[in-house]
């Protein structure tokens, strides 16, 4: 029994460590919030983040099940202090995280709205699943109203750089087919479906335009233009000790961010690498 408790305590300690390191890595910019803003956020958005739709699968799990530190994403909430939710101090911190995912100048473009929205209703697509079938959904409308309650110039994200398709074709796609020693190809596992950014070319050699465009569509969903550090594509195959995701059911292609290939891809995500030259 004692041993179990000790093991649990150790696990908790490891979790806290990871939490601390991920938090320093993604400190939101200092933002001042009125108490009334924190209260409104607690009343409107937090119940939505906690709400379970009856399962652990995408589109059913509560946002908070995935959006704490484990994902290393920008949308990383503090782990709720108790089962009933966050403390006021935590909410204040979380509000700084959440307001980086909204655009008060162009509310409907907010990632907080467009990620959980169905792609055929204008959503971006979301590994966490579709939560809102249409923009008429009551929850969608509630979040939209909350974003509109701020002055238009309050939270406006910096414009995103363009991520180059030609560079993707020339320098990124070949990575999916060329495993490193002892690894298997990304294409073995990412051939089709929601995370099928690495289809095997139909002719067995090179991707035609249509295949390449489809793959580009999937991979751009898994990156945050301008922000390689929080881009899923650059996190998943990166070793956890080098700052990568806590879990990946596939390979760890890069030990650290210093890997030249990681650097090249980061340059591409920042919009700095374009064209056909990979060196
Ligand atoms: C099953 C896990 C899971 C659930 C549940 C989930 N998400 Fe996600 N979410 C992810 C993953 C993984 C990503 C990163 C990949 C992507 O963008 O599709 C993500 C990305 C996002 C992003 C983009 C973050 C950024 O940096 O731009 C937003 C916003 C978001 N989710 C909102 C939500 C909201 C709101 C809910 C609840 C209604 C929710 N998610 C539920 C897993 C989940
Ligand atoms: C052995 C199979 C396997 C291989 C090989 C593999 N992956 Fe994965 N990958 C998975 C599985 C399964 C998931 C979903 C579960 C998870 O997130 O770990 C995943 C998830 C991902 C995600 C997150 C997708 C999302 O929707 O959020 C990315 C990005 C990713 N892999 C990139 C890669 C890259 C790049 C390679 C090649 C360098 C690769 N993977 C190789 C199995 C694999």
Q: Is 61 in the pocket of ligand 1 (CB under 6 A)?
A: yes
Calpha distance 190→200 (Å, rounded):
9
Q: Are 152 and 160 in contact (CB under 8 A)?
A: no
Calpha distance 163→69 (Å, rounded):
26
Q: Say what the pTM is.
A: 0.83
Residue among 70, 126, 199, 236 whose CB has most ligand 2 atoms within 8 A, to mutate: 236
Tell me the CA–centroid distance for residue 119 and ligand 2, in Å.
21
Calpha distance 36→105 (Å, rounded):
21
Residue 165 C-alpha from the chain's centroid: 21
Q: Are 238 and 257 in contact (CB under 8 A)?
A: yes
Tell me the CA–centroid distance for residue 197 and ligand 2, in Å.
10
Ligand 1 atom closest to Cα of residue 61: 5
Q: Given this model, what pLDDT does residue 19 score?
A: 41
220 three-state secondary structure = helix
pLDDT tens digits for the chain (279 residues)? 444 444 444 444 444 344 434 444 444 455 689 999 999 999 999 999 999 888 888 888 999 999 987 667 889 999 999 988 999 999 999 999 999 999 999 999 999 999 999 999 999 889 899 999 999 999 999 999 999 999 999 999 999 999 999 999 999 999 998 999 889 999 999 998 888 999 988 888 889 999 999 999 999 999 999 999 999 999 999 998 988 887 888 889 999 999 999 999 999 999 999 999 998
Residue 214 C-alpha from the chain's centroid: 20
Residue among 115, 196, 228 whose CB has most ligand 1 atoms within 8 A, to mutate: 115
Q: For atom 20 of ligand 1, which residue has the closest CA?
A: 126
Q: Is 117 in the pocket of ligand 1 (CB under 6 A)?
A: no
Phi, psi dihedral angles at 268 (to 5 degrees): -65, -45
- Looking at residue 57, what DSSP letter applies? S
Question: Which H helix or E strand runs over 44?
Answer: helix 35-50
């Amino acid at each position: 029994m004692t041993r179990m408790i000790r093991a649990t305590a150790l696990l908790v300690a490891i979790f806290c460590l990871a939490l601390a390191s991920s938090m320093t890595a993604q400190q939101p910019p200092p933002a001042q919030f009125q108490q009334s803003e924190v209260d409104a956020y607690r009343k409107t958005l937090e119940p939505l983040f906690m709400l379970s739709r009856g399962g652990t699968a995408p589109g059913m799990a509560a946002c908070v099940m995935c959006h704490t530190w484990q994902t290393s994403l920008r949308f990383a909430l503090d782990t709720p202090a108790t089962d009933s939710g966050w403390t006021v101090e935590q909410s204040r911190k979380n509000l700084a995280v959440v307001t980086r995912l909204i655009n008060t100048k162009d509310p409907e473009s907010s990632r907080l709205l467009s990620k959980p929205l169905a792609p055929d209703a204008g959503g971006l697509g979301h590994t966490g699943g579709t939560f809102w079938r249409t923009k008429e959904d009551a929850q969608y409308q509630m979040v939209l109203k909350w974003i509109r309650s701020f002055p238009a110039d309050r939270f406006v994200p910096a414009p995103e750089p363009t991520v180059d398709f030609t560079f993707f074709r020339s320098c990124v796609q070949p990575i999916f087919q060329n495993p490193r020693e002892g690894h298997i190809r990304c294409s073995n596992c990412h051939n089709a479906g929601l995370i099928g950014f690495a289809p095997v070319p139909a002719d067995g050699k090179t991707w035609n335009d249509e295949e390449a465009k489809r793959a580009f569509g999937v991979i751009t969903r898994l990156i945050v233009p301008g922000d390689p550090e929080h881009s899923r594509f650059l996190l998943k195959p990166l070793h956890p000790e080098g700052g990568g995701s806590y879990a990946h059911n596939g390979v760890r292609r890069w030990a650290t961010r210093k890997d030249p290939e990681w650097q090249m891809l980061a340059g591409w995500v920042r919009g700095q690498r374009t064209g056909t030259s990979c060196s």
